[in-house]
Amino acid sequence: MAAPVGTPRWETDFGAEGGLFRTLRAACAQDWADYTWHEFCRRISDGSLPLEAFRRYLIQDYLFLIHFARAKALAVFKAESIQAMVDKTNAISAILAETSMHLKYCEGWGLSQAKVLGTAESAETVSYTRYVIDRGLAGDILDLEVALVPCSVGYAEVALRVLADPARKVDGNPYQSWIDTYGAEGYQKLARAAALRIDALGVSHGGEARFAMLSATFSEAARLEQRFWQQGLDAA
């Protein structure tokens, strides 16, 4: 069935109709909206986000990436097939390469490598990253990937929301490079694949029977993402 005319892309681009990803997203619709259209995101869109808020976010995002790579390494161990192990190994390499690019990006915002590496993880970063890894250690590959996917898909949705925002500052937006990164087709494709993988794992790993627990994991990850944004605003 085709989506109704006027349905925003972020409602239809990620996951299949009736699949596990969209069902999880719908089950925590308010938490998901509060994450993907947080004040931090809205102010990236209109260009009004204070510089210090973005700088704090950038530093903590670098520290987050380190643990994101560790979670992907755990996914190699938990993977259900050789191909999945290969895919996750490639993802680790990509994330580790991204850490180097992230440090260079930080330099453009006046954040030296010494400053980034010398900053401690915030409570928000610790709580989010350890929650994801804990879900992976306690459960199987589906538990882990349900904890991970709000990050991968959520950022893609944020970008789509920004690009559709009537209040978006198009000319001279200081955060345009960030918007371009997550709005690019390469990242959008990655996010679509991540959502479809959740759908596939939901079928192969009994997602329907485990929905209550999976939904709790997905919802908590969305709430932790909200707090990750909020820490930036709190620093401004």
Q: What is the pLDDT of residues 3-20, one digit of tens each?
A: 455 789 999 999 999 999
Q: What is the pLDDT of residues 203-213, one digit of tens each?
A: 999 999 999 99
Task: Tell me the C-alpha distance between 136 and 72, whole Å.
Answer: 10
Asked if residue 124 belongs to a domain, the reply is: yes
What CATH number did the domain enclosing 163 receive? Answer: 1.20.910.10
Q: How far apart are CA 226 and CA 32, in angstroms?
A: 9
Q: What is the mean pLDDT of the chain?
A: 96
Q: Return the closest-CA partner of residue 113 out of 124, 128, 121, 101.
A: 101
Q: Residue 147 has which token pair?
A: 């904890």
pLDDT digits (tens, 9 = 90+) for 66-102: 999 999 999 999 999 999 999 999 999 999 999 999 9
Structural domain boundaries, residue 183: 23-235
How much is the pTM? Answer: 0.94
Task: Check residue 163 and give its pLDDT.
Answer: 97
Q: How far is CA 65 from the centre of its chain?
A: 11
Number of domains in the chain: 1
Residue 3 lies in a domain: no
At 2, the pLDDT band (50, 70, 90 cuts) reads very low
With respect to residue 2, please indicate whether it lies within any of the assigned structural domains.
Answer: no
